[in-house]
Chain A
Amino acid sequence: MLFLPAALILTVGAVLPTLVTIGQSLFVVTLTGGHFAYRWDGLQNYLQLLGSGEFQQAVGFTMLFTTVTVAAELLVGMGMALAANMAIPGKNVLRTTMLVPWALITVVSAQLWRYIYDGTYGVANAVLVGLHVIAQPVTWLSDDNLAIGAMMVADIWKTAPFVALLLLAGLQTIPGELNEAASIDGASPWQVFRFVTLPLLRPSVLLAALYRTIQAFVGLFDLPFVLTGGGPGYATQSVAIYSWKRMFQDLLFGQGAAASVVAFAVTLVLAIVYIRMISPRTVSAESP
């Protein structure tokens, strides 16, 4: 009884629609005269996707983006977590500040980076010209590779602090005496990190990596939508953008649905791995 309203909303709002999406991906769906019309199409939508160069490009870009940003966010996030875990004044200010980019509206940070990257008056150019990294202002978002790199930087800025907070939660469970004992035994700070901290932090690192991978793979929508619109050309078009454009710009609803099912399938596999990692400990610890 207590569970009924929640079960109802979850079923109607999330579980059933997912099944319907899978169904819709097997039809040619058209919007004519204000009504959706369905014509059975078997696996045609999927076959067309597989043969589409634009879809392959979207999958390739999304995989590249996810791999690079998740790796960078773990590295940068680890550095920030270690810094926030040091015994110095001001670390609480740092912890609060790390939440701000994460809480920021993604659309706002995308507009902000679009302004920063502007090819004629953007501050990115002003800083890099000032530091003599580049001689002339660069139009960052008009070149395929530069646009991809610029988008990665924007994503890392927003998400590395969040990864740092997840890792910091793990760091705080490591008793300080362990590190002290290793130092007394003559271990250098690097050795303490490499042989004491890192092995103990392994579960947190793996979970953060998986969680971010899932988010990045299907969730990459807001940032490219605003920062580049998926361009130049299709260079920064993610699977989510591809799927959305098929549905709500080209009105090829069945094909868009098929693309989102592919993205969902990838997520599902990763999510199962994630749950297997997280649930044995939590669920058994919580059992009465």
Chain B
Amino acid sequence: MRRAASRAWRAALLLGILVVLLAPLYWMVAASLTPPVDIADWPPHWFPATPTLSNYRDAFATQGFAGYLRNSLIVSTASTALTLLVGSPAAYALARLRLPGRQVLLIGILGLTMFPSLAVLLPLFSMLRALGWLNTYQALVFPYTAFNLPLTIWILTTFFQEIPRELEEAAEVDGAGVMTVLGRVVLPLAGPGLASAAILVFIACWTEFLFALTFNSSDTMRTLPVGIALFGGQFVVPWGTIFAGSVIAVLPLVVLVVLFQRLMITGLTRGAVKG
């Protein structure tokens, strides 16, 4: 009897937490389906009274959200690819080669993961300006790569260290060079590490706001976060359009979370708080 009661309590607690976490998201989806005439009704409708997809049509056909989406896709994909390309050899060097000052480097890289982007904003702005790079894709790809490299190197180093060294030694005996060993032996085995780093970097780029706002503010170069933040009407806030854009912007993140929950938690706990 007591056991059953405690089970019921636990289930209720779990359900309560789920409701608190998901209710605001439900409200966003509901608003995205509500036509502008209904959005300011009081009291609000718990379910959209006359659900419509017109907000989505507005956001992506009439307003600029298709462009924001394209910019976000290009910038995030390019940054993720570049970060892994540059990060994996560096992590391999840290994991395997007997570098002088290896420990200091590792600690330095851990320190860099805490780096605030605010601290580099003005110099990067003046540099990008001098290069004529403001409002270009590289204006974001370059700083995104720099700011995601430390976490990537840190995560990949820990994954590389778990690969048995004998495999690489066997390849070396067969005459393979360092890059061949890395490309043919280590990287395929470090698949989960690469995937978890890639997902975390992609999410970081997809959600970044400060650099994107400062460097790419022209309407055609905005990424989704900047587009969503600066989207406004003259007299009323166009909530429906904002949340239609937001739902599409958030959808890839939710899919990643649902598919790769385990990988992400592994990467996060190694990167942020490795206990």
Residues of A near any B CB (own CB < 8 A): 1-3, 5-7, 9-10, 12-18, 20-21, 24, 29, 36, 80, 83, 86, 88, 90-91, 93-101, 103-116, 120-123, 126, 129, 137, 157, 161, 165-166, 169-170, 173, 203-204, 207-208, 211, 214, 218-219, 221-222, 225-226, 240, 243-244, 247-248, 253, 256-257, 260-261, 263-264, 267, 271-272, 274-275, 278-279, 281-283, 286-288
The reply on B243 being an interface residue by CB < 8 A is yes
Which of B28, B114, B143 has the largest count of A CB atoms less than 10 A from its CB? B114
6 smallest A-B Cβ distances: which pairs?
Answer: A13-B146, A17-B120, A6-B90, A17-B123, A20-B123, A218-B116
With A13-B145, A83-B13, A111-B242 known as contacts, the answer to whether A166 contacts B269 (CB < 8 A) is yes
Q: Which of B44, B127, B229, B249 contacts A126 (CB 8 A)?
A: B44
Q: A41 to B115: give the CA distance in the assembly, Å.
A: 27
Question: Is B44 a contact of A123 with CB atoms below 8 Å?
Answer: yes
Q: Give every chain B residue within 8 A of A278 (Cβ-Cβ).
A: 110, 273-274
- Verify if B65 is at the interface (C-beta below 8 Å from A): no
Q: Is B37 an interface residue (CB 8 A)?
A: no
Residue among A6, A16, A24, A253 facing the most chain B CB atoms (10 A cut-off): A6
Task: Identify which of B48-56, B147-155, B167-175, B188-196 touches chain A.
Answer: B147-155
Among B24, B254, B261, B274, contact of A109 (Cβ-Cβ < 8 Å): B24
Given A103-B257, A112-B27: A170 touches B114 (CB 8 Å cut-off): no
- Taking a contact as CB atoms under 8 Å apart, the answer to whether A97 and B145 are in contact is no
Q: Which secondary structure dominates chain B's binding surface?
A: helix
Which parts of B124-159 form the interface with A (CB within 8 Å)?
A: 124-127, 129, 142-143, 145-147, 149-150, 153, 157-158
Q: Can you identify 13 A-B contacts, CB atoms within 8 angstroms? A: A6-B153, A14-B120, A16-B123, A88-B14, A100-B257, A121-B44, A123-B27, A166-B268, A170-B273, A207-B275, A244-B210, A260-B122, A274-B114
Alpha-carbon distance A137/B40, docked complex (angstroms): 14
Q: Which residue of B lies closest to A19 (CB)?
A: B123
CB-based contact B44/A3 at 8 Å:
no
Residue of B nearest to A239 (CB): B118
Complex Cα gap A101–B20 (Å): 11
Q: How many angstroms between the C-alpha atoms of A157 and B122 in the bound complex? A: 32
User: Given A93-B18, A108-B250, A18–B119 Cβ distance below 8 Å?
Assistant: yes
CB distance from B177 to the nearest CB of A (A): 11
Q: How far is the CB of A256 from chain B (nearest CB, A)?
A: 7
In the complex, residue of chain A having the shortest beta-carbon distance to the beta carbon of B118: A260
Q: Which residue of A lies closest to B226 (CB)?
A: A107
For B98, B116, B256, the residue with the greatest tally of chain A CB atoms inside 10 Å of its CB is B116
A49 to chain B: closest CB distance in Å?
A: 15
Q: Does B258 contact A (CB under 8 A)?
A: yes
B121 touches A166 (CB 8 A): no
Q: Which residue of A lies closest to B97 (CB)?
A: A2
CA distance A211 to B113 in the complex (A): 11
Contacts A2-B182, A24-B123, A107-B207 known; list 19 others, CB within 8 Å: A2-B90, A2-B93, A3-B93, A9-B86, A10-B146, A14-B147, A21-B121, A90-B11, A99-B264, A100-B253, A105-B246, A112-B24, A126-B44, A157-B20, A244-B210, A261-B119, A278-B273, A279-B110, A286-B157
